[in-house]
Amino acid sequence: MFTFIEKLITSRNLKPKKKEGFLKIISIFSFLGISLGVGVLIIVMSVMNGFRTELTNKILGFNSHITIKPYSNPISENYYNKIKNKYINSNVIKTFNGEAVILNRDNAKGTLVRGIDPKKINSINFLKENIIDGELTNFKNGTVIIGKYLAIELGVVVGDKINIMSSNSISTPLGNIPKQSSFQVAAVFSSGLYEFDRSVSFFNLRDSLSFFGKNLEDFYIEIFLQDPINASKYKNEIQNIDSSFYVISWADQNKSFFSALKVERNVMFLILTLIIIVAAFNIISGLTILIKNKTKEIAILKSLGLDKKSIIKSFFLTGFIIGFAATITGLVLGTLFSINIESIRVFLSNTFNLQIFPEDVYFLAEMPSEVSLSSIIIISSFSLITSMFASLLPSLAVTKIDPIKALKYD
């Protein structure tokens, strides 16, 4: 593809003379700019991918994949059995959700109460895998399972009792007052999602229905699928079975959140590609100046019979080598940084006493990162194509050099 003479000219162009030190500086900035752009893009895309994957896994583990709620009429036991038999490979459970306030000493914390059928508690992987204190076998009437940060804020441990105030009121001679009940902490979970760990409590289903003044038939149905990606398909099937119930999937509940993540990811990609484009302009500037300084040499080469195509290829190769080397360097550095980003975060946090990834802001306990092969290919391809165009444009200027005029006025 490239002849010996073309490679020789390229090697000389990549080693500018002392009087061409300015060209060396431009080449260095081009190299660093493209390396930085590629590396930062890979890091940002990896973090965004990791963030989305981690949150998706947490949300899918914590929340049901499909929820069925009643409108005006309660869900019948026959309907529940029909759904359970139809989706025998899925985990179908009875639940009821509500909001309450936990009172303990001088603390008052709002909480989302999730009533769970105790017979199905062991089939929920989220609870089995994330209990850090206590046992699921202790989960029975009069007990509650709370999150790690909620337990810390309330100052309670397994075995302690807490008072919980319902949004439902009871009538007394003094008027209606909020209903309060005492529950014992059966276990503490840690999901890794800060917001869940400080605001969610699990009740026995019967306790939750009674606590909110509901009857035993006022339950919801939650379905945990083997393949949550197909939740929308199953949602439509269930809606067709009986349209009198409200059916919602996890994708519907978190649609705005994941749409925002996608938009943010795309915007970050567009913004950071500008680094590569700006660095490519440095290649254009450097090659333009190099060709201007090499006008005499180019004229001599033409006079000796070297065709324009070979000269163009040699200058094109000069710029492309800078872009290619910078892309590979950025790819390696970006990938290594992405793989070790949590260790780097911990090191920087401990060294400079900085809170780089606060849990209460980003919801996760660790900085996630997922290196995607497709992202690397897209970023590298964009960088190489940009470098190719940046190298080709000034190289074509060689065709405009007239050997006679160049040698006459040199």
DSSP string, 233-296: HHHHHHHHH-TTEEEEEHHHHTHHHHHHHHHHHHHHHHHHHHHHHHHHHHHHHHHHHHHHHTHH
Closest CA to 98 of 161, 168, 176, 150: 168
DSSP state of 356: S
- Does residue 240 lie in a domain region? no
Q: What is the mean pLDDT of the chain?
A: 82
CA distance 251 to 94: 20
Q: Would you say 74 and 217 are in contact if contact means Cβ atoms under 8 Å apart?
A: yes
The dihedral of CA 382, 386, 387, 392: what is its sign? positive
Rg (CA), the chain: 33
Q: Which domain holds residue 8?
A: 4-57+257-408
Q: Looking at the structure, tell me whether residues 178 and 105 fall in a common domain.
A: yes
Q: In the structure, how many helices (H) and strands (E) does the chain have?
A: 16, 10
Q: Looking at the structure, tell me whether residues 220 and 262 fall in a common domain.
A: no
- Tokens representing residue 72 in the block: 């005006």
Q: Looking at the structure, tell me whether residues 292 and 386 fall in a common domain.
A: yes
DSSP state of 108: E
Q: What are the start-end ranges of the E strands in 7-125?
A: 66-70, 91-104, 107-116
- Does residue 180 lie in a domain region? yes
Q: Looking at the structure, tell me whether residues 393 and 262 fall in a common domain.
A: yes
Q: What percent of the chain has pLDDT over 90?
A: 12
CA distance 341 to 354: 15
Residues 6+ apart with CB under 8 A from 302: 308, 311, 401, 403
Report, as an integer, the average pLDDT of 344-362: 76
Q: What are phi and psi of 10, to 5 degrees?
A: -60, -45
- Does residue 243 lie in a domain region? no
pLDDT in tens, 153-203: 888 999 999 998 887 766 556 556 677 889 999 999 988 777 888 888 999
- Tokens representing residue 29 in the block: 């900035």
Q: Which of 224, 248, 276 is the last residue of a domain?
A: 224
- Does residue 321 lie in a domain region? yes
Q: Would you say 29 and 280 are in contact if contact means Cβ atoms under 8 Å apart?
A: no
- Amino acid present at 137: T
- Does residue 174 lie in a domain region? yes
> Could you please report the per-residue DSSP string of 126-177?
HHHHHEEEE-GGG--TTEEEEEHHHHHHHT--TT-EEEEEEEEEEEETTEEE
Report helix, strand or coil for 116: strand
pLDDT confidence band for 145 (50 / 70 / 90): very high
| This model's pTM is above 0.95 | no
Report, as an integer, the average pLDDT of 35-60: 85
Q: Which of 224, 249, 270 is the last residue of a domain?
A: 224
Exposure b/e, 92-121, CB count within 10 A at least 16 = b: bbbbbbbebebbbeeeebebebbbbbbebb
pLDDT in tens, 226-281: 888 788 888 888 888 888 888 988 888 877 777 777 787 788 888 888 888 888 88
- Does residue 382 lie in a domain region? yes
Q: Which of 202, 224, 246 is the last residue of a domain?
A: 224
**pLDDT above 70 for 370:** yes
**pLDDT above 60 for 42:** yes
Q: Looking at the structure, tell me whether residues 268 and 393 fall in a common domain.
A: yes
Q: Would you say 37 and 383 are in contact if contact means Cβ atoms under 8 Å apart?
A: yes
- Does residue 171 lie in a domain region? yes
Residues 6+ apart with CB under 8 A from 55: 193, 257, 261, 363, 364
Q: Would you say 310 and 398 are in contact if contact means Cβ atoms under 8 Å apart?
A: no
| Count of domains for the chain | 2
Residue with tokens 């075995």: 159
- Tokens representing residue 229 in the block: 């990606």
CA distance 395 to 312: 5
Q: What are phi and psi of 160, to 5 degrees?
A: -70, 155
Q: Looking at the structure, tell me whether residues 267 and 380 fall in a common domain.
A: yes
- Does residue 230 lie in a domain region? no
